[in-house]
Amino acid sequence: MALMLNGTNDYMDQYQDKLVSADEAVKIVKSGDWVQYGEFVMQPKDLDAALARRVNELEDVKVRTVTITMIPEIVKADPKREHFRFNDWHFSGFSRALHEQNLCNYIPITYHEARKLIEEFVQIDVAFVLVAPMDRNGYFNIGTSNSITSYVVEKAKRVVVEVNTSVPVCLGGNGEGIHISQVDYIVESQTNPKLLNLPPTKISETDEAIARVVMEQMEDGACLQLGIGAMPNAIGAMIAESDLKDLGIHTEMLVDSFVDMHESGRVTGKRKSIDKGKMVYTFAMGTDKLYNFLDHNPVCASYPVHYTNDPAVIAMNDKVFAINNAIEVDLYGQVASEASGTRQISGTGGQLDFIFASFRSKGGKGFICLSSTKTMRDGTVVSRIRPTLSPGTIVTIPRSLNFYVATEYGIALMKGRTTWQRAEELISVAHPDFRDELIKEAEKMKIWARTNKQDI
């Protein structure tokens, strides 16, 4: 016991030696540096504000983050991008708005490759990381966003942690802590702001209809991954109210609906092959309900993304059901989930990883879900199942990897289908008002056959 107490005292001495103000800490940033900010709801606000105050002292400082949940102060302080260049690995609504003003650039990434990408191809001079208070063993927990943070800390030349008492302690798993020996400076938040609570997602009748279509495919013992958005939330709510048994969780993003599923008894993890009984995730975003559920909860396991999103790891579990959104799908089966034309909307994220893995999983199914139509700003209604993707649009899921496509009109299977069979399947789940037009386009593209179904 004496040894443990002495160790604790030693860590506290190190803590005091490394404790500085935010303004003092950001002095380590030099012109030309690459600076890594936190991820998702784990954004270091005091350090961001302090770095912004140095705007006129610095040139060509490049900042990276993952899915900002605020407008960074460095961007506000430098609206002409003369001192800071801001970049995001995955766009949020904030990133999207900044991109349209030419104030943010996207960084393409296949999420499960992040560790090697950072280790071999990315420069990080300084890392700012938001953390929970240090424990008696000298560790700072990285809270709700494991993802790439452990790789960033290993790669960065200098590491600064911003301590916030509102951060829940999220257990691993692996990679969920930073030891004080890895830290150069410690900054204590002056306000300890609560983590961002996502606003309620409005679930439309169409979202519910798509969710019901997917629910018809669900099975006891399925291992779930849900993407972000109204439709996956609708599925989560339906699962919580269902009589499904022994579901498992191995997901990229943990959201509030997983809490509902667990508390309703739908989730036990008993049938998982790996991490049995654990709800595995790499980052979490939601409300205080989720953050309170995560805090010191051993049923939850936080892992770096090279583990959670590796298709080979995911597929070790049977019946992986991956459920994700898309913007549009073309008649070849190509999926666009991150951009419309040249407009970057989100990012690849883990969609490719989980759709690929679901096919490799015994009994698995991967669903790309989208409403059949979209209403444009001018009131025009367009089909989201298109002959070809809009010009300039980025392909998120290539046609060779696409598995199932679901709309409110049913499910289309892509695997093992010829081009004309794909067109037939997709047109059958398109909105009826657009089916004749899609058939005509399919004929021009030579992917339509006279033997096709006559009732489409």
Q: Any idea what the CATH number is for the domain that residue 45 is in?
A: 3.40.1080.10
Average pLDDT across each block of 10 residues of the chain; the chain has 456 residues. List them in order: 52 97 98 98 97 98 96 98 97 95 97 98 98 97 98 98 98 97 98 94 92 97 90 89 97 95 97 98 96 98 98 98 96 96 92 98 97 96 97 96 98 97 97 97 92 59
229 and 347 assigned to the same domain: yes
Supply the pLDDT for residue 232. Answer: 83
Give the separation between CA 417 and CA 422, rounded to whole angstroms. 6
7 domain-assigned: no
86 domain-assigned: yes
Sign of CA dihedral 139, 144, 146, 150: negative
345 and 388 assigned to the same domain: yes
131 and 244 assigned to the same domain: no
Rounded to whole angstroms, what are the CA distances from 65 to 43, 88, 139, 156, 413?
A: 9, 5, 23, 14, 36
Of 156, 188, 220, the domain-final residue: 188
Sign of CA dihedral 394, 399, 401, 403: positive
Supply the pLDDT for residue 270. Answer: 97
**Which of 39, 252, 328, 425 is flagged as catalytic?**
252
5 domain-assigned: no
168 and 232 assigned to the same domain: no
Range of 307's domain? Answer: 205-444
How many domains does the chain contain in total? 2
Supply the pLDDT for residue 6. Answer: 47
Give the separation between CA 173 and CA 163, rounded to whole angstroms. 22
216 and 174 assigned to the same domain: no
Contact assessment for residue 346 and residue 338, using Cβ atoms and an 8 Å cutoff: yes
Supply the pLDDT for residue 5. Answer: 40
Report pTM.
Answer: 0.95
Supply the pLDDT for residue 452. Answer: 60
182 and 226 assigned to the same domain: no
* Known catalytic membership, residue 252: yes
Give the separation between CA 234 and CA 218, rounded to whole angstroms. 14
- CA nearest neighbour of 317 among 366, 246, 248, 367: 248
- CA nearest neighbour of 69 among 47, 37, 101: 37
Of 124, 155, 188, the domain-final residue: 188
43 and 117 assigned to the same domain: yes
101 domain-assigned: yes
154 and 219 assigned to the same domain: no
Those residues whose C-beta lies under 8 Å from the C-beta of residue 310, and which sit 6 or more positions away, are 112, 353
For 57, how many CA atoms within 13 A lie in the half-sphere containing its CB? 11
